Structure formats: C-alpha cells, structure tokens
Structure 1
Amino acid sequence: MEVAHQELSRAKQERIRFGLPPIIGNYFFPAYTPALLAAGLLQRLEVEDHGSRELTKMLAHGIIDMALLGSLAPLQQDSFSTQVITRAPIQIIVAPDHPLATQTAGVSFQDLKKEPFITLANEYVHAQAFHQVSRAAGVRPKVVFKTHDVHVLKTLVAKNSGISFLTTLALEPQDHLVALPLLDLGAPEFIISVATRANRLLSAPGQNLWNLLTSKGN
C-alpha cells in the first residue's frame, strides 16, 4: 500500500524518479537527451545516481519508477518488466605503450595472472564480471587499486599504473587507451536494460519515456 501511494502521488505530479548508474549515465544516456528534451520528458526526470545493484533494490521498493540497469545477463525478475536496449563487450584495457598493447587480436585471462589490475569497486557490475572470469580461468589476479570513479581508473591505466577490465561503452578516443578482446569462452558482456515494476501502471510521461528508450535507432 505504501508503494502504491508513492507511485500514485508521483503519477499525479507527472514526475518520473529515474535510476541511472554512473557508467550508463555518463557514456550511454546522453545520446537520448535531445529526443527527451524534444518530447518534454527531460525536465520531468528526478535522477537517482547509484550502482545497478542499489537501483534494483530501490525499484523493487517503489522508491524509483524506472531505471536503466547494467547486468551480465538479461534481467529475469518476475516483479519487473524489462527490455534489453543494448550490449557491449567488456575488454582488457591497457596504455598504448604497455607490452600487451600490440596484442589487438585478443588475450586470454590466464596470461594476465601476473599483471597488476586497477578495478572498479564492488557495487559495479564490472566487479562481478572480474570475479567471474578470474574463477573461470583459475587465477587470482593482483588488484593494486579499487576505485568508484571510472575517470580515475582510465587515467591510472593510461599512466601505466596497471591494466583494467572495462566495457567498451565507457571508452572514448581521448582516453588514449587500447582495448583487447578476451579470448576466453563465455567472456562477459555489459548488458543495458530498462526496467520498471511489473504491476506498476505508468503515467503518460512514464510510458512515453519507456517507448522512447526502447525504440530502435536511438
């Protein structure tokens, strides 16, 4: 009843509490902003900026109305309505002058067991992917630094302080980094989905937002 009351109250205000994880918010969502602005939706968004794990909890408890979520597999949760929007590989990133930079055809995780890694903190999907490939390869990589900031991670890698494991979605030409595909079977990919509560009746602006995010060509 409390969740229903929150949702009805927001529907009357025609505001949309929208969950947006940092990587998706910085590197994927901006492409939608011109269309959102033209549709009169951008100004209706009240953005909650957290990791996908925390946003999933907030969505389940009715604290937010809708979210873009990152995952390693398509979301399958009976209490949610979800739709995959895009997928991007998660690859090894190194500095251009790193010895591995020439191996553009790809590397196996087993060959990286002696490399120092700089990783994202545990609330990122990347941490789960890192543990997944480590277990599959039977290695325990040396993690020299963990960070909550993708920009810090990329800067440290560019300075040859270590290598990392990052979705290509978060790489830009000005980063001056080299991305190397993982040759391991079942190498993880970063999946972006839009999600809302399955039993939630979306307001007209909420439905327009859903339609815009799930339409092709954005």
Structure 2
Amino acid sequence: MSLPFDLRALRVFLSVADRGGFSAAARELHVAQSAVSQTIANLEKRLELTLFQRHERRIGLTPEGEHLRLHARQLLERAEATHLAMRELHGLVKGELRIGIPSMLGSYYFPPLLMGFKARHPGIRLTVVEAGARRLQRMIADGELDLGVVIDDAASHHLERRRLVREEMVVCVPREHPFTGRAGVTAEAFFREPLVLFQDGYFHREFVDALSRQTGLTADVAFQSNLIPLTKAIVRQGFGITTFLRRVVDEPELAAVSFDPPAWLDLSLAWARGAYLSRAEQAFVDFVLGHRDAL
C-alpha cells in the first residue's frame, strides 16, 4: 500500500506550518506559491484531513495539522540521519560540526581541544556557538546543534552525556578584599556583598540563584553582564564580587576563594538522545574524551 505523502510534501507542509503562510514557505523553498498551495491541497486530499485553518490574511494549523507536524519533523530527522549513514558507507563525513559551549568553557577550557581536533581533521569545519547552558540544551534537543557542553544535572538528563570534568565554583574578589586569604566563604557572607552576575539562562547565574533558594538569602545584584572581561573589570575596581570556575580567575589583581562548603559542577559533553552520530561527530567525541585529562 502506498503512503499518502512523500518526504517532499512533508517538507513543504513543515515550511508552511513553521513560517505561518504559503508565501513565506514559497520564499524559503525557492518555488512558486502556487506550487506550495497545490502540494498542500494534494496532501490534504490524500490524507482526507484538513491541515490548515485558512483565514483572510493568515493561516493556522488544525488539531490534525498539529499532530502531523510532530510526526513529520521526527520522520524527516530520521530520513536525514539515514541519508547521512548511507553517505558514510562511501567514506563521506559531515562537513561541519556545530558545537555549543558556555562562555567560560569556550574561553578557558576548549580552545586547545578545538585547535587539536582541527589539526587532526583539517577538512571538517567547526562552528562554535556560545550561549547559556539551558539554551544550549534546548538547541541540542531541537537539532540546532550537533554537540554541546552542559551542566550534568537533572535538567540535562534527557540528553546523551559523557562526563568531561568536575570543576570548582569559587568566589572571585579583588586581591585586597577581606575574603582574600580565607579558607572559605559562607553563603551568608557572599550574599552580604554586592554581586556582579550573568543574566538568566547561564549556569553562572543558575548557581547563584540555586544557592539563594537553598539558604533563603537574597542576592544584591549590582551589575548584570555576560561578558567575562567586563565582569572582571568591575570586580577589580571594587564595585562588586562574583563567582567563576576556578580556572577563570587568572589575573594577579583577582583572588579565588572557595565557598564554605566547597561548590563543584560536573560538566559533560552531550548530544540528543537517540541521535545518529556521524563519523565527524563521533571523532570529535572520541578526541575530547581522550584528552579530557588535559582540561
């Protein structure tokens, strides 16, 4: 029995659904609007379902259309993975790796690994995306990134993960600050200080917010910035303190002091659960895991 649709029709359907109109889908697909309309009409006829509610100036998915969108996206992703697997039987590999890395890791941990992998595989193009930890997790799950570095916690358990490194979160203060030289800084002492924090969505901010919830103490946020150099400059000038991974506190004017008790984060390399790893992706995973002792 033949199927009532093909992959091309599903791609057209998804484009119309995602773009919210036939004209926008036609521009994205580089075809005539009439061709898009005809494809959707044929699909609805063969399925014997109405997929779109047509209004005067806009369209929307019917409940049946919403149901098809979910299955169509999954089917096309599997088809792409199958196509890639067949290409690799002929020795071809994916030409680009899309990797997501939080800013602190991208600046201080990963450059040697990325350069080492590129030297070993010069034909593979690396695209590195910097974003907050939670956004990276969503991008990996949605297929916008092939791989990414995430915090290994309950929020990332829907991803396939391989442990990379455990790193300490420390209090970062000016060298002349009273905290310098202490064995540890309690949460109570930390929250009495004006703080320089990343914005929501970054693990740096989530760490502080979680500490606030655990202790019932409120953060005095003096500055918000996702720029590490700017955050360091603010701390150096004495306008606030912050928290970083220990390795990030690498300037003589700044001091790193442990929390009391010490705070640790587990960092993992992650990809979508059940996703097919191309040879290039698998090579990157193997390379990073083989060099994680250098992190």
Which of 174, 180, 190 is the aligned partner of 2:257?
180
CA distance in structure 2 between the partners assigned to 1:46 and 1:8 by the alignment: 23
Cα displacement string for residues 8-52 of structure 1 (whole angstroms, at most 9, x for unaligned residues)? 677754322221221111111012134212321684212222222
Identity within the alignment, % = 22
RMSD over aligned Cα, in angstroms?
A: 2.3
Find the residue that maps to 1:193 and give its secondary structure: strand
Any conservation in 1 of the 2:131–2:202 contact (CA below 8 Å)? no
Counterpart in the other structure of 1:36: 117
Where do 1:201-216 residues align within 5 Å? 201-216=276-291
Distance 1:175 1:6 in 2: 51
> Partner residue of 1:81?
160
Which secondary structure state, in structure 2, belongs to the residue aligned with residue 211 of structure 1?
Answer: helix
Letter in 1 for 2:282: Q
Counterpart-to-counterpart distance in 1, 2:201 and 2:110:
19
Q: Classify the secondary structure of the residue corresponding to 2:274.
A: coil
1:54 alignment partner in structure 2: 135
Query: Following TM superposition, by how much is the alpha carbon of 1:75 offset from its aligned partner in structure 2, in angstroms?
Result: 6.6
- Alignment-mate amino acid for residue 167 of structure 1: L
1:162–1:194 CA distance, 2 compared to 1 (3 A): same
Partner SS for 1:182:
strand
In 2, the alpha carbon distance for the partners of 1:99 and 1:166 equals 18
The 1:74/1:48 distance shift into structure 2, 3 A limit, reads same
Larger of the two Rg values belongs to structure = 2
Give 1 or 2: higher helix fraction: 2
User: Which residue in the other structure is 2:270 paired with?
Assistant: 195
Shift of residue 116, structure 1, vs aligned partner? 0.8
The answer to whether the 8 A contact 1:84-1:191 is kept is: yes
Q: How far apart are the structure 1 equivalents of 2:203 and 2:123?
A: 26
For the pair 1:101 / 2:176, whether they are aligned, the reply is: no
State the Cα deviation string for residues 53-93 of structure 1 (Å, max 9, x = none): 11111111111111122x26377524x22111001111111
The higher-RCO structure (CA 8 Å, 6+ apart) is: 1
Give 3-state SS (helix, strand or coil) of 1:36's partner: helix
Counterpart mapping for 1:134-145 below 5 A: 134-145=212-223
For 1:153 and 1:10, locate their aligned partners in 2 and report how far apart those are by CA, in whole Å.
43
- CA separation in 2, counterparts of 1:148 and 1:34? 24
SS at match of 1:179: strand
Q: 1:164 and 2:164 equivalent?
A: no
1:4 corresponds to which of 68, 72, 78: 78
Amino acid at match of 1:30: P
Q: Residue 153 of structure 1 aligns with which residue?
A: 231
Per the alignment, in what secondary structure is the counterpart of residue 97 of structure 1? coil
| Whole-angstrom distance in 2 between the partners of 1:200 and 1:152 | 38
TM-score by length of 1: 0.86
Distance in 1 between residues matched to 2:147 and 2:121, nearest whole Å: 17
On the 8 A contact 2:172/2:249 being kept in 1, the answer is no
Q: Deviations over 1:84-112 (max 9, x none)?
A: 10011111111011122232x11111123
